């Protein structure tokens, strides 16, 4: 069990929690604006594909990452237009969207990408220890010997928190999620704010996906490779009570659950079947969800389409 307090375990936990955190922080903003993004699973998968495709075309993983973010920002915008602008049912749209994405990414992989893929190395996105900070015992190894994407995530966390709770646009966004009708009467552009939130959610899911394919699996895209991580991000958002720092802690917990696969021998005292290890984060999420339930701190208008009553 000493493995569980070792730097290796926690460094792996941070590394594996990064995609969960990125997707969940986007989902936090989306849910704060009053929507569920069931399509997050598909957006992550698009990010994973676009990241590898962009890296393959340009030979540069940073450009691949950029492409993933641009593509998922556009998708997030369009998705926002559908669910906030057209009031398309959020669950139905998400399910349909995810099916289209699994098909489209698989089609592009088999008919186009698989012929040109060369071995990709993460390049700049590989682990880079931060000089100085990485020398701090334990913390330095765990937090500051990571991919630069993880460092970007460290910046996104306080920025999102500041945006949501200390800025005027953030206040308006929360108002839209709590009381869309009241916000509308006060002249807040409800629909546009929701579309903007969904665009951000898409970008973050795209980053998460690109991290999975470029950094975590070193440039390989496998069909449906997100394997429910997008849905886990929704659970993490709720588990984190829609508060960015709590969401980050929840993501770290799930990263730790995933990191068990590297230490399972030492922790469980024998080899554990890989599917069982893959199952653990989902079981954990269900238990967490059952313990917390949907408390009163949920945005009040979460999941409700906004319809202006007097048209």
Partner 1 sequence: MLARARVGLRSPVVVSVGLGFALSFLVGGVLIALVGQNPAEALRVGFEGAVTTKRGLGNSLVFATPRLLVGLGACVAIRSGVFNLGGEGQLQMGAVGAALVAVLMGPMVAPLHLLLALVAAAMFGGIWAGVAALLQVQRGASVLITTLLMNFVAIFFVQYLVQGPFQGETAAYNSSERIHASAELPVILPGTRLHLGFALAVAAVVFTVVLLHRTTLGTEFRAAGFNPRAALFSGLSPRRLVISSMFISGALGGLAGAGEILGVQYRLLQGFSANIGFEGLAVAFLAGLSPVATLVVAILFGALQSGVLQLQHELGIPVSIALIMEGLPIVCLAAARGLSLLRGGGMGSG
**Closer residue to partner 1 (CB): 10 or 97:** 97
Shortest reach from residue 258's CB to partner 1, in Å: 13
Site string for partner 1, 202-241 (x = CB under 8 A): ---------------------xx--xx--xx-xx--x---
Looking at beta carbons only, is 35 or 216 nearer to partner 1? 35
Burial 141-152, CB ≥16 within 10 A → b, else e:
bbbbbbbbbbbe
Interface with partner 1, residue 111, by CB under 8 A? yes
Binding of residue 300 to partner 1 (CB under 8 A): no
Angle between helices 190-210 and 168-178 (to 10 degrees): 100
**241 membership: H or E segment, kind and range:** none
Q: How far is the CB of 214 from partner 1 (least distance, A)?
A: 22
**Cα 27 to Cα 298: distance, rounded to the nearest angstrom:** 13
Report, in Å, the least distance between residue 123 CB and partner 1.
30
CB of 168 to partner 1, least distance (A): 29
Q: How far apart are CA 134 and CA 66, in angstroms?
A: 27
Interface with partner 1 includes 99 (CB under 8 A)?
A: yes
Is residue 182 within the footprint of partner 1 (CB under 8 A)?
A: no
Treating both helix axes as pointing N-terminal to C-terminal, what angle do 40-58 and 61-80 enclose, rounded to 10 degrees?
150
User: By C-beta, is 143 or 285 nearer to partner 1?
Assistant: 285
Residue in 205, 220, 61, 231 with CA at minimum distance from that of residue 147: 61
Count of beta carbons in the 10 Å neighbourhood of residue 60? 16
**Contact between 115 and partner 1 per CB under 8 A:** no
- Region binding partner 1 by CB under 8 A among candidate stretches 53-61, 91-99, 172-180, 240-248: 91-99
Comparison of 122 and 281: residue with beta carbon closer to partner 1: 281
As measured in angstroms, the least distance from the Cβ of 90 to partner 1 is 7
Q: Is the Cβ–Cβ distance between 274 and 266 less than 8 Å?
A: no
Question: Distance (Å, rounded) from C-alpha 99 to C-alpha 41?
Answer: 10
Strand segments, DSSP code E, in the chain are: 128-129, 145-146
Judged on CB neighbours under 10 Å (0-12, 13-18, 19+), 261 is middle
Q: Out of 159, 283, 297, 300, which residue is the one contacting partner 1 (CB under 8 A)?
A: 283
Binding to partner 1 by residue 270, rule CB under 8 A?
no
DSSP 246-282: HHHHHHHHHHHHHHHHHHHHHHHTS---HHHHHHHHH
Binding range to partner 1, per CB under 8 A, among 58-66, 156-164, 243-251, 286-294: 286-294
β-sheet bridge partners, residue 263: none
Q: How far is the CB of 89 from partner 1 (least distance, A)?
A: 5
Q: Which tokens hold the place of 90? A: 């959020």
Is 169 a binder of partner 1 (CB under 8 A)? Answer: no
* Contacts (CB under 8 A) with partner 1, residues 22-41: 36, 38
Q: Where on the chain is the footprint of partner 1 (CB under 8 A)?
A: 36, 38, 82-83, 86-93, 95-104, 106-107, 110-111, 223-224, 227-228, 231-232, 234-235, 238, 273-276, 278-279, 282-283, 285-286, 289-294, 303, 305, 307, 311
């Amino acid at each position: 069990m000493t493995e569980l307090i070792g730097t290796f375990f926690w460094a792996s936990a941070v590394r594996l929690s990064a995609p969960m955190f990125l997707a969940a922080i986007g989902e936090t903003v989306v849910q704060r604006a009053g929507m569920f993004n069931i399509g997050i699973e598909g957006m992550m998968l698009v990010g994973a594909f676009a990241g590898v495709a962009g890296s393959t075309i340009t030979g540069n993983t940073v450009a691949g990452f950029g492409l993933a973010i641009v593509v998922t920002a556009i998708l997030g915008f369009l998705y926002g237009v559908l669910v906030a602008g057209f009031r398309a049912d959020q669950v139905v749209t998400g399910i349909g969207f995810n099916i289209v994405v699994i098909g489209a990414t698989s089609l592009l992989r088999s008919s186009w990408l698989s012929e040109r893929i060369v071995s990709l190395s993460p390049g700049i996105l590989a682990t880079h220890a931060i000089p100085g900070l990485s020398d701090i015992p334990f913390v330095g190894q765990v937090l500051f010997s990571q991919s630069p994407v993880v460092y970007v995530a460290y910046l996104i966390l306080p920025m999102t928190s500041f945006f949501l709770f200390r800025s005027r646009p953030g206040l308006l966004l929360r108002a839209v999620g709590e009381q869309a009708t009241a916000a509308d009467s006060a002249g807040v552009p409800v629909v546009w704010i929701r579309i903007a939130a969904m665009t951000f959610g898409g970008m973050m899911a795209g980053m998460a996906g690109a991290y999975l394919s470029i950094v975590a699996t070193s440039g390989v895209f496998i069909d449906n490779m997100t394997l429910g991580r997008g849905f886990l991000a929704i659970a993490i958002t709720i588990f984190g009570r829609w508060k960015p720092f709590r969401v980050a802690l929840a993501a770290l917990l799930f990263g730790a659950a995933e990191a068990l696969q590297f230490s399972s021998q030492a922790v469980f005292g024998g080899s554990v079947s890989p599917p069982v290890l893959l199952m653990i984060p989902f079981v954990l999420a269900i238990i967490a969800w059952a313990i917390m339930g949907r408390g009163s701190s949920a945005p009040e208008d979460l999941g409700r389409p906004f319809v202006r009553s007097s048209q």
